[in-house]
Amino acid sequence: MNILVTGGCGFIGSHFVLRHRAKHPEDTIVVLDKLTYAADRSLLAPIEQDIVFFKGDITEASIVSHLVDDHAVDAIVNFAAETHVDRSIENPIPFIHTNILGVQSLIEVCKLHPTLRFLHISTDEVYGDIDDDDPPRTVASCLIPSSPYAASKAAGDLLIIAAMRTYGIKACITRCTNNYGPHQALEKFIPTVFRHALKDEPVPVYGEGKNKRDWLYVTDHCDALELLLHTSWAFNDPVIKSGHLFNISANDERQNIAVATMILDLLGKPRSLISFVKDRPGHDWRYALDSSLIRKLGWKPTVSFMDGLQNTVEWYKKRLEVRR
């Protein structure tokens, strides 16, 4: 299988590329990345001689189409996205550009290449938040996004579902819970806690820190995507009329304050560094997903939260110390 990975220099995308290369060295991997602030091409340095890299924007359908033709691409795996909620509140335009117009561009390429598989990585935030006593959201749950980021991702999902029905493209949409691990942009929650704590600076936590997230280690997420990528019926099951959807979750919910204190404890830093700050607008209370469908295919998370957190802390510690 020859694959085009969009956003392959980002957090999850880089892990996926490295992992796919190790598991399938015979495959051709083409990486398309705009190299925005959240991307880091050096993450792919260990395999840069073994992949094809092209700097570009997924909204340029002609570029994507040429890459598909030139490298006989069988599948597009789309990680390219603007993802930071706070940034989307300040300026939604880049999110509309990449997460909506970019997705439509990829759809146009799929229309030109009817056998192409399109694996699109979405988010649990499209469902909106839920109360503590609510059951986990299923793929049949309503989409009630709270932020411009979540709304842009929901719009991209709906465009794909519509294209599956109208044009018959072979697509699969995954919605995952909060990923964590090495390579993540420093503005995200776990890296933010770490970089402030390492400098003995106040660690900002929104509100009272009681918002709940289900944490999924990034390589576990990548393994789930690999499974789906190689499951042909996941892209063209005629029974699924509205598009094929899979939730991916670890079923490991934790309050933000609990995660922050775990990181401080791992670093040997005082918990008094935690500083509660004004909550952001529309802050979702809790996310939880029903991932029973992909678990029926044999996938399950293998990295415990504590092991994953230790791996993450060690990676960031070494990387930030090198930058000093």
Q: Residue 16: inside a domain, yes or no? A: yes
Residue 214: per-residue pLDDT: 97
Q: Do 33 and 80 form a contact (C-beta atoms < 8 A)?
A: yes
**Domain at 84, CATH number:** 3.40.50.720
Percent of the chain with pLDDT over 90: 90
Q: How many helices and strands in the chain, by DSSP H and E?
A: 11, 12
Q: Residue 271: inside a domain, yes or no? A: no
Q: What is the mean pLDDT of residues 191-216?
A: 95
For 48-62, letters b (16+ CB in 10 Å) and e give eeebebbebbbbebe
Indicate if the pLDDT at residue 323 is higher than 60.
no
For the full predicted model, state whether its pTM sits above 0.85: yes
Alpha-carbon distances of 58 from 42, 103, 160, 189, rounded to whole Å: 20, 8, 15, 27
When computed from its CA atoms, the radius of gyration of the chain, rounded to whole angstroms, is 19
Residue 232: per-residue pLDDT: 87
Which helix (H) or strand (E) is 161 found in, with range?
helix 148-167
Q: Do 163 and 105 form a contact (C-beta atoms < 8 A)?
A: no
In this structure, what DSSP letter does residue 149 have?
H
Which helix (H) or strand (E) is 221 found in, with range?
helix 218-229
Q: Residue 171: inside a domain, yes or no? A: yes
Percent of the chain with pLDDT over 70: 97
Residue 241: per-residue pLDDT: 53
Provide φ and ψ at 270, rounded to 5°: -70, 140
How confident is the prediction for the chain on average, in pLDDT?
Answer: 94
pLDDT in tens, 232-268: 888 875 555 556 899 999 999 999 999 999 999 999 9
Q: Residue 225: inside a domain, yes or no? A: yes
Q: Residue 258: inside a domain, yes or no? A: no
Helix (H, G, I), strand (E, B) or coil at 126: helix
Provide φ and ψ at 29, rounded to 5°: -115, 120
- Number of domains observed in the structure of the chain: 1
Phi-psi region of 273 (alpha: psi -120 to 50; beta: other; left: phi over 0): alpha
Q: Residue 311: inside a domain, yes or no? A: no
Beta-ladder partners of 217: 180
In this structure, what DSSP letter does residue 279 have?
P
Measure CA 20 to chain center: 16
pLDDT in tens, 38-74: 999 999 999 999 999 999 999 999 999 999 999 999 9
pLDDT in tens, 73-106: 999 999 999 999 999 999 999 999 999 999 999 9
Residue 145: per-residue pLDDT: 97
Query: Which amino acid belongs to residue 240?
Result: I
Q: Do 127 and 105 form a contact (C-beta atoms < 8 A)?
A: no
Residue 295: per-residue pLDDT: 96
Residue 237: per-residue pLDDT: 59
Cβ-proximal residues to 163 (8 Å cutoff; 6+ apart), any chain:
107, 110, 111, 169, 171
Helix (H, G, I), strand (E, B) or coil at 311: helix
Q: How confident is the model at residue 316 (pLDDT cuts 50, 70, 90)?
A: confident
Helix (H, G, I), strand (E, B) or coil at 255: strand
Cα(57)–Cα(293) distance, integer angstroms:
33
Provide φ and ψ at 271, rounded to 5°: -65, -15
Q: Which residues are marked as active site?
A: 124-125, 149
Q: Residue 36: inside a domain, yes or no? A: yes
Q: What is the mean pLDDT of residues 135-161?
A: 96
Range of the domain at 147: 3-183+215-251+286-302
Residue 320: per-residue pLDDT: 72
pLDDT in tens, 294-312: 999 999 999 999 999 999 9
Q: Residue 269: inside a domain, yes or no? A: no
Residue 240: per-residue pLDDT: 53
Q: What is the mean pLDDT of residues 274-282?
A: 93
